[in-house]
Amino acid sequence: MKRLERFLIIPVENQVRELDAKLFFACVAARHGFSSMIGSRGDVDFQLGRVPRGIYVAKSMTPRSKKVFRILSLLGHELVGWDEEAVNTFALPEVYYSRRFSARTFQAVQQLFAWGEADAELFRKYPHYPGTPIHVTGNPRGDLLRPELRPFYAPEAARCREKHGDYLLINTNFAHVNAFYPVLNLLDPAADDGLGRAAIGMTHAYAEGRAAHKERVFAAFQALIPFLHDAFPEQRIVVRPHPIENPAPYHALAERHERVVVEKDGGNPIPWLLSARALLHCSCTTGVESWLTGTPTVAYRPDPSDTYEEPLPNALSHACFDLEQVEATLRRILEGSLGRLEGETPERLIAHHLEGLSGPLASERIMSVLERIVSEGGDAPAPGLRDRLEGRARGRWRRYKKYLKSRKPDSKNRPEFQRYRYPGLEPAALAERIARFQAILGDDRPIRIRPMADHVHRLDP
């Protein structure tokens, strides 16, 4: 088996949330002489037996990853990772652990990268933590929120302002009760136990309680949208649904209210935050991102709960518990007397949860670890021929089973759902984004882009 190559495998699940940061990470990797394969996670995973022995950068350690992790091991790829959702975790650690980790998948990861010390603490306190090295580096998504990276989004932010003028941005977070397919919700009346796929890792009681909470907040947000439309006639109301939400309820509201617009453009939320007059959310990760962009932010909490709300985004926002408070807070924001939430508490929370917001980029910190892995030949021995053949066979069988599942009516493997979650970029658009990242990095060395499969590209320095 050939030695470990300077080759990264970078899967992306949700384009809106992940692609720009991982593309930037690939650009930083190229400065270190690393090639990358980047694209839709499912399509990337189908290519694992066709690429050089490299380093797979996992986005999570969920129980559903065990088959892919086994294939990676058989093929000789190194496995490192972070938890993409660790910056906005469940209020109850036991729920977070049961949904996001399993003993088997955690054991397979050879190096862990933490967003901040809070994330590292969650890793260490996991009951099945095997002692895997943890590097508190920050995350490439945090890099994009640093002031020096802000110019990357200037063209998109300008287009948002040109299209909508002054607007209030609502980012929704109701995929557990308003999923693209109903079977992806927390509750599924057609299931034997009444639970949907979003309830994986939850007790029946917790799933029912969380679903009831989310339904109440979802209903309140559907009332909030027309309320804002009428209360602020000089503002557009721009709604951006969660990447795997069903947008139909919001389109129905937009049809009845002329200044309500639903945006599902497949793009990153950062330019929308930069150009909005204010953000409204409840327990949404964009509440963290908006604090870092300086966007005034309101957490509308009509059903406050220490059990079911994700705490960090709300703690970084102006909390409002009824529509009258929302209106009063927004009027102060729009008149310029109120900005983002300031004080010792938000500063302390950000410092605890997010490393790499100053000094070396998080991407550079991660690359220093990956450089060591390659220079030392990898953390695991190269596999023999039998293992490699088994890995390829398992990969082909997994692909065939995914194909069969994609033919089921409500499967998350259906092409229309996968493209909703990952619309993709044409090579020209990908090249344009890479060129802008390189300009910010001050790197004029060309990066070659080669399509490898649908929604998968190889980047070579």
What pLDDT digit, counting tens, does each position of 123-132 carry?
999 999 999 9
Within its chain, how far is the Cα of 298 from the centroid? Answer: 21
- Name the pLDDT band for 413 (thresholds 50, 70, 90): low
Domains belonging to the chain, first-starting first, are 7-144+356-460 (3.40.50), 152-342 (3.40.50.2000)
- In angstroms, the CA 398 to CA 403 distance is 9
Is the pLDDT at 1 greater than 60? The verdict is no
Angle between helices 15-31 and 427-441 (to 10 degrees): 60
* Residue 329: partners with Cβ closer than 8 Å, 6 or more residues away: 298, 318, 320, 338
Average pLDDT over residues 387-413: 77
- In angstroms, the CA 420 to CA 308 distance is 27
**Helix then strand then coil, % of the chain, to nearest 5:** 50, 15, 35
Would you state the pLDDT for residue 450? 95
**Parallel/antiparallel/unpaired status of strands 448-453 and 456-460:** antiparallel
Show the tokens assigned to 52. 């050089």
Is the pLDDT at 294 greater than 80? The verdict is yes
* Residue 437: partners with Cβ closer than 8 Å, 6 or more residues away: 23, 24, 27, 152
What pLDDT digit, counting tens, does each position of 348-383 carry?
999 999 999 999 999 999 999 999 999 998 877 788
Would you state the pLDDT for residue 130? 95
What are the C-alpha distances in Å from 278 to residues 299, 315, 330, 335? 11, 16, 8, 12
What pLDDT digit, counting tens, does each position of 63-111 carry?
989 999 999 999 999 999 999 999 988 889 999 999 999 999 999 999 9
Show the tokens assigned to 103. 């003993």
Percent of the chain with pLDDT over 70: 97
Would you state the pLDDT for residue 405? 72
Could you write out the DSSP letters of every residue in 5-65? PSEEEEEES-HHHHHHHHHHHHHHHHHTT-EEEEEEHHHHHTTGGGS-S-EEEES-B-GGG
- In angstroms, the CA 404 to CA 395 distance is 14
- In angstroms, the CA 418 to CA 244 distance is 10
Is the pLDDT at 54 greater than 90? The verdict is yes
Helix (H, G, I), strand (E, B) or coil at 261: strand
Of 20-34, 60-74, 330-344, the poorest mean pLDDT is in 60-74
DSSP 8-state secondary structure symbol assigned to residue 397: H
* Residue 234: partners with Cβ closer than 8 Å, 6 or more residues away: 166
Average pLDDT over residues 396-405: 76
Would you state the pLDDT for residue 281? 98
- Of residues 275 and 381, which shows the higher confidence score? 275
Average pLDDT over residues 135-157: 97
Residue closest to 138 by CA, chosen among 342, 288, 35:
288
DSSP 8-state secondary structure symbol assigned to residue 198: G
- In angstroms, the CA 159 to CA 170 distance is 18
Would you state the pLDDT for residue 266? 65
> Is residue 216 exposed (0-12), middle (13-18) or buried (19+ Cβ within 10 Å)?
middle
Would you state the pLDDT for residue 399? 79
Would you state the pLDDT for residue 332? 99
- Name the pLDDT band for 422 (thresholds 50, 70, 90): confident
- In angstroms, the CA 31 to CA 26 distance is 9
Show the tokens assigned to 146. 């640093």
- In angstroms, the CA 348 to CA 428 distance is 42
What are the C-alpha distances in Å from 8 to residues 38, 111, 159, 193, 362? 8, 14, 33, 41, 16
Number of neighbours of residue 122 by Cβ within 10 angstroms: 20
Would you state the pLDDT for residue 411? 65
Mean pLDDT, the chain, rounded, equals 93
Would you state the pLDDT for residue 243? 87
Of 2-6, 313-317, 353-357, the poorest mean pLDDT is in 2-6
What pLDDT digit, counting tens, does each position of 161-197 carry?
999 999 999 999 999 999 998 999 999 998 989 999 9
What are the C-alpha distances in Å from 79 to residues 4, 72, 105, 330, 438? 12, 7, 10, 46, 27
- In angstroms, the CA 226 to CA 245 distance is 20
Q: Which amino acid, 112?
A: L
Would you state the pLDDT for residue 121? 97
Average pLDDT over residues 217-226: 99
What are the C-alpha distances in Å from 307 to residues 89, 95, 199? 12, 10, 15
Is the pLDDT at 418 greater than 80? The verdict is no
Would you state the pLDDT for residue 154? 96
pTM listed for this prediction: 0.94
Would you state the pLDDT for residue 71? 92
